[in-house]
Amino acid sequence: MTSPDVDIPTPLQDQVQAYLNHLTIERGLSENTMAAYKHDLKRYLTYLTQEKVCEVSNISTHHVAGFVQALSSGSHHMGQLTETSINRILIAARGWHRFMFLEQTTEENPAVDIKPSNTGLYLPESLSIEAMTQLLEAPSADTAQGLRDRALMELLYATGARITEAIELDVDDVVSLQHGETTVVRLFGKGSKERVVPLGSYAVEALHAYLIRGRPQLVSGGKGSPGLFLNRFGGRISRQTGWNAIKQAAEAAEINVDISPHTLRHSFATHLLQGGADVRVVQELLGHASVTTTQIYTHVTPDTLREVFALAHPRANSA
């Protein structure tokens, strides 16, 4: 269920837009992140309008707390959301109020004492190395689309790239496919921050096959595009096309778990750390601004802890 359309007062709209402009210009957030902020803050403004609030200066702690309760209970046509979704929306609202306070638009920050709940440790889903191999080998090597899909997934897993970063790649962003030379790819992450990530031999082989035998067929269907991954009309593929390619490969490989492009990113990080990679190196490869974000992948199970302790501690077991 989504919130109903209401006539949101212009002052509230203008003040939220000022915050969105700040996020875009000063913090350089990506288009997808900005769309999420806009959607979440519109939900908040809808609630405030239903509560007859027309100015940000009239918003109280009571309103912020009431909004969180509405999200949790499904009242005010908000739709009953998960705790994770509620926390995300609250973070957007808190960011707006903090901005209004720092810009001296309001004398107080009504959201300062309304904090996201502790939802516990979130562990990203990842595939085993065996399942990942089955997924990557699922697309056909006999069609242009199959070659493209295999190259796309090999690149996602080889670099930990986000799907948006991958579909926005140009051919020139892949540097050196020559035998014996290290091939790297230039990725542009959040805030247009560039990072250079090396490609392994499997990804290089898949990309080479696609560029030689697949992409020329796809580019012939359009007017020409610098994009690396193309659709059948010769244009750059969409996020949805990338998602569908992975879903279809998972079905073909008979992998019966929910898989998304982020699954490949999570698997990339998990497998690197399991292989002994330093967390700060993985941070750089993923393009995380903080190592704290990367450290979530270093979580180990109690069974693993007990096993390591038993093997490593000199007094874990009596003789």
Annotated active-site positions, please?
162, 190, 262, 265, 288, 297
Residues 6+ apart with CB under 8 A from 187: 159, 161, 165, 169, 173, 194, 195, 196, 197, 287
- Rounded to whole angstroms, the Cα distance separating 195 from 186 reads 6
Which contacts (CB < 8 Å, 24+ apart) does range 166-171 have?
166/229, 166/242, 166/261, 167/227, 167/229, 167/236, 167/237, 167/238, 167/239, 167/241, 167/242, 168/227, 168/236, 169/227, 169/228, 169/229, 170/226, 170/227, 170/228, 171/211, 171/215, 171/226, 171/227, 171/228
